[in-house]
Amino acid sequence: MAKKGSVSSPARAAGGMGALLSSFQHARAHGLAADWHTFLKANQGDGFDCPGCAWPEPKKPSSFEFCENGVKAITHEATTRRADRAFFAAHSVSDLRARDHYWLEQQGRLTEPMRYNNRTDHYEPIGWDEAFQKIGKILRTLDSPDEAVFYTSGRTSNEAAFLYQLFGRMYGTNNFPDCSNMCHESSGVALGESIGIGKGTVTIEDFEKADAVFVFGQNPGTNHPRMLTELQKAAKRGCRIVSFNPLKEAALLRFTHPQHAVATALGSSTRISSHYYQPIIGGDLAAIKGMIKRLLELEEERGGVLDQAFIDQHTQGWLAVRDDARAAKWDDLVANSGLSKQQICEAADIYAGAERVIVCWAMGLTQQKQAVGTLQTLVNLLLMRGNIGRPGAGACPVRGHSNVQGDRTMGIIEKPKPAFLKALGQTFDFKPPEHEGHNTVEAIKAIDKGRALFLMSMGGNFAAATPDTAFTEAALAKLEMTVHVSTKLNRGHLVIGNESLILPCLGRTERDQQAGGLQQVTVEDSMSMVHASRGHREPASPQLRSEPAIIAGIAAATLKSDVDWAALVADYDRIRDKIAAVIPAFADFNQRIKQPGGFYLGNSARDRAWTTGAGKALFKVHPLPANECDANQLRLMTMRSHDQFNTTIYGLDDRYRGIRGKRMVVFLNREDMAERSLKAGTEVDLISQGRDGKKRRAQGFEVVPYDIPRGCAAAYFPETNVLVPIDSYAARSYTPTSKFIPVWVERR
């Protein structure tokens, strides 16, 4: 059989001409080649917030910052293609279910509300009011409000998120799972317990002052390209950049800023990482504990390593962490991390030699069984040298979706804080439910058991982004009703309940006209900056409604309440006034978003105010994780290619890793290949097994030899989500273990 696509050597540098060319090709394919006006509005004072990722804006709001990720996110939203009524008439749902994620994405923007007709197996047009009435009718007939689940993806604006949670809580449930449950939940839990606030403590200015930046489990070249600008600047002024990543990621090695014309033309690049360590998957906790051990040795040898004054004044629990690290055996740390003692000590020496240190991380740390423990060990590392709450230092969980952090701030959470509920109840004169709702994994289980019957998705792709695809899809098919508020067609729409509706909404780049005039929304970035976003494009269809307007329509059709939903939506200033009334940090909200660049929400830990209950930052001891792989299994990580945004597949290349025209590949170490008599290009299946004893199989992956430690493997999600058992999640944060799935590799 002729092999599709090709494999070449991984790129030697990221960014540069390749990024410019790829961006241009995407823009042209979507009819936007001449539309640079749109890109120039991204992240500008009077423009829209880039829907790409949550990395902060450039500091000067007038300076356009080119980003390949952003260009793709924008072109795919602003595409001239349409999945309209003619499209749905031509394709039955059975037909659409046979297509892959890439094909579905290529069909373009949704244009009008659609309702599934089980007699014809087609989605057919339905009016907005009729759709709202149908939803209201079902919600009013459920036995308990907790039979409804309200999911949110992280592109939803603050205004929409606030209205959505208000509606859900007035209806009577805290069932607000969100994409965060599968993403940075482990960070939120770990930081919340250790330092009293579940958000990062640094601002973008800190990157200009740091002496060392440690990057754990993150691939910024693909997922946060604008972060590379900061890393490049830092590297150029001599800041040490230390990467911990099982894979050699091109952009963490060398980078050419695509906006720097001369460097791009010459193909010259900047070295990013001064040091690059490749732990085995799941090996970070041991590596960090080893660093702490080494720092203690240094302290004994020469002193001056610990910030004892900080430890005494600001923390609790140090002695337990110290004793635990002292007692840890180097052999165990080395075996558990996959790094040599020398490497661990070298990393610790860099840490000790840097006055100000920032630690960044993303999914490589959060999507592991011991994620919360790993992250709290990382916080221990920061605390022992007082690296939280001073300039140029701190914790930096790099968020994913552009407003995932803001949605949480607005109350999209299944475990709301009592103070928030109290203020919400007082402002809107009702009694919000106090019992905890479902997170994403719990929601799927409740749906499977018939304890939840209604699922509404505010954006996202619930069926594909979640773990255990076969189990999850079978569960979703039991629902009484699914409602998807979406911009684009995706797999989630094709897993049909008894009733299924698609409600198409405006995207970030589009004009939002309401009764009170043209509206703006707000978002919060990864570093707690809140700012306005205004779309300027003509909407993809005159029938689209904004997310707030859709929520208001559903709320009015469901609830008997005194809230004037239509008035709130006529002018979003009114929603912001309510947000200001409920959340103290948003006082004078409407005034403060007028400042260019927005405003900073503040971070208690940054001010060394520790809201942990004890009034101190807490050191926490965690044991090394047990090895969950048997001798024949590999640790599989499921990650993003360069041409996707989560389940949105833009294209079939993964340029920096040398993959062209395909996604069904598995990256393996050459020795693991030899041991299994596998060659480059051999077709294999990947097989996992859950605690339920059931085998799960993902079929048809082409083997690609790669620079990855022995015993480790990597492949793309969402195709591999079929392998993630529903019961395999991080302790306490419930984040699916998407970065550590024990698998057998079987030749086809």
Paired with 6 in beta bridges are: 660
Burial 250-289 (b: 16+ CB within 10 A, else e): bbbbbbbbbbbeebbeeeebbebbeebbbbbbbbbbbbbb
* Spatial separation of the C-alpha atoms in residues 253 and 12, rounded to whole Å: 8
Q: List the one residue from 389, 400, 459, 553 that touches Mo ion (CB under 5 A).
A: 400
Query: What is the bridge-based pairing of β-strands 648-649 and 634-639?
Result: unpaired
| The two three-digit tokens of residue 227, written as one number | 């972060």
Closest residue to bound Mo ion by CB: 400
CA proximity to 104, closest of 645, 647, 502, 723: 647
Q: List the one residue from 132, 216, 471, 706 that touches ligand MGD (CB under 6 A).
A: 216
**10 Å Cβ neighbour count for 5?**
14
* Eight-state DSSP code of residue 505: B
Contact status: 364 vs ligand MGD (CB under 6 A): yes
Query: What is the bridge-based pairing of β-strands 617-618 and 634-639?
Result: unpaired
Give the range of 119-127, 212-220, 324-332, 421-429 binding ligand MGD by CB under 6 A. Answer: 212-220
Select from Mo ion, ligand MGD, none the partner in contact with residue 264, using the beta carbon and a kind-dependent cut-off of 5 to 8 Å. none
| The two three-digit tokens of residue 4, written as one number | 């599709």
Using CB under 6 A as the criterion, what x/- string covers residues 316-355 for binding ligand MGD?
A: ----------------------------------------
Q: List the one residue from 241, 505, 552, 730 that touches ligand MGD (CB under 6 A).
A: 505
Nearer to ligand MGD, 74 or 311 (CB): 74
**How would DSSP label each residue in 636-693?**
EEEE--TTEETTEE--S-BGGGTEES---EEEE-HHHHHHTT--TT-EEEEEEE-TT-
Contact status: 533 vs ligand MGD (CB under 6 A): no
* Spatial separation of the C-alpha atoms in residues 158 and 160, rounded to whole Å: 6
Q: How far is the CB of 521 from ligand MGD (least distance, A)?
A: 10
Give the range of 114-122, 230-238, 459-467, 555-563 binding ligand MGD by CB under 6 A. Answer: 459-467
Using CB under 6 A as the criterion, what x/- string covers residues 708-737 for binding ligand MGD?
A: ---------x--xx--x-------------
* Spatial separation of the C-alpha atoms in residues 110 and 84, rounded to whole Å: 6
| The two three-digit tokens of residue 734, written as one number | 């419930």
Contact status: 247 vs ligand MGD (CB under 6 A): yes
Nearer to Mo ion, 370 or 738 (CB): 738
Q: List the one residue from 421, 465, 557, 575 that touches ligand MGD (CB under 6 A).
A: 465
Contact status: 458 vs ligand MGD (CB under 6 A): yes
CA proximity to 116, closest of 578, 406, 499: 499
Paired with 596 in beta bridges are: none
Give the range of 319-327, 412-420, 568-576, 641-649 binding ligand MGD by CB under 6 A. Answer: 641-649
Three-class SS of residue 520? coil
CA torsion, ordered 32, 37, 43, 48, to nearest 10 deg: -80
Select from Mo ion, ligand MGD, none the partner in contact with residue 325, using the beta carbon and a kind-dependent cut-off of 5 to 8 Å. none
Q: List the one residue from 441, 481, 639, 664 that touches ligand MGD (CB under 6 A).
A: 639
Using CB under 5 A as the criterion, what x/- string covers residues 178-197 for binding Mo ion?
A: -----x--------------
CA torsion, ordered 144, 115, 647, 257, to nearest 10 deg: -120
Q: List the one residue from 589, 645, 706, 734 that touches ligand MGD (CB under 6 A).
A: 645
Contact status: 400 vs ligand MGD (CB under 6 A): yes
- What residues line the site for Mo ion (CB under 5 A)? 183, 400
- What residues line the site for ligand MGD (CB under 6 A)? 53, 69, 153-155, 179, 182-183, 216-219, 222-224, 244-247, 249, 279, 281-282, 284, 362-364, 367, 400-401, 458-462, 465, 485-488, 490, 505, 507-508, 547, 637-640, 644-648, 717, 720-721, 724, 738-739
